[in-house]
Amino acid sequence: MTAPRRACDDAGVVGGAEVLPLAVLVFVGGILLVAHLWGVVDARAALDAATRDAARAYVEAPGPEVAEQQARDRAAAALTGRGRDATRLQLHISHPDGRAWGRCVPVEIEAAYDVAQPRLPWQDHGSVLTVRSRSSEVIDPWRSGVDAGAPLGQAVC
C-alpha cells in the first residue's frame, strides 16, 4: 500500500498569478490611450467641419462688415453641434492675395483647437494637444450686391 499524498505539494497549481496586476495596468493604460486618440480624431473632424462652415459663411455674407462675425458664429455653432467647447476655438481669417472683401477674392480660414490630454498619476498637470485645420473658398464672381461699380458681365477672376 502506498502512502497518502501530502496536501502541500505543487501539483496542479498554475504559475503566473503575479502578472495579473501588470496585465490589468497595461489593459487600462491601453484603453486610456485609445480613448485619447479617438478624442483627437473626433476633434479634428469637428474642426474640419467648423472651418468649412466658417469659410462658406464668410463668402456668402452680404458684406464685409458682417462676414467675419458670421464666420465666427458658424464655426462656433459647428463645434457646439458636435459636443465641443467653442471657447477653445482660435480662428484666423485671411485673404491670401491681400485684396479686400469682394468678387473673386479668396479667403482662408485657419483654426486651432486645444484637446486636453488625460493626466497621468505621475504628472503634475495634464498637457494639451493643439489640433489645426484650414479651409479656403472664393467669393462668388457672379453674385449681386458686391462691387457696385464693376460691370456685372465682366467679373473675371
Reading the chain (157 residues) residue by residue, the pLDDT tens digits are: 666 666 666 665 566 777 888 888 889 888 988 888 898 999 999 999 999 999 999 999 988 889 999 999 999 999 999 999 999 999 999 998 888 888 888 999 999 999 988 776 666 777 888 999 999 999 888 776 665 445 555 555 6
Identify the pLDDT of residue 6: 61
Q: Are 97 and 37 in contact (CB under 8 A)?
A: no
What residues does each domain of the chain span? 17-154
Identify the pLDDT of residue 151: 52
Helix and strand numbers (H, E) in the chain are 2, 3
Rounded to the nearest 5°, which phi and psi values hold at 107? Answer: -130, 140
The residue with cell 458658424 is: 74
Beta bridge mates, 130:
114
> Which H helix or E strand runs over 77?
helix 64-81
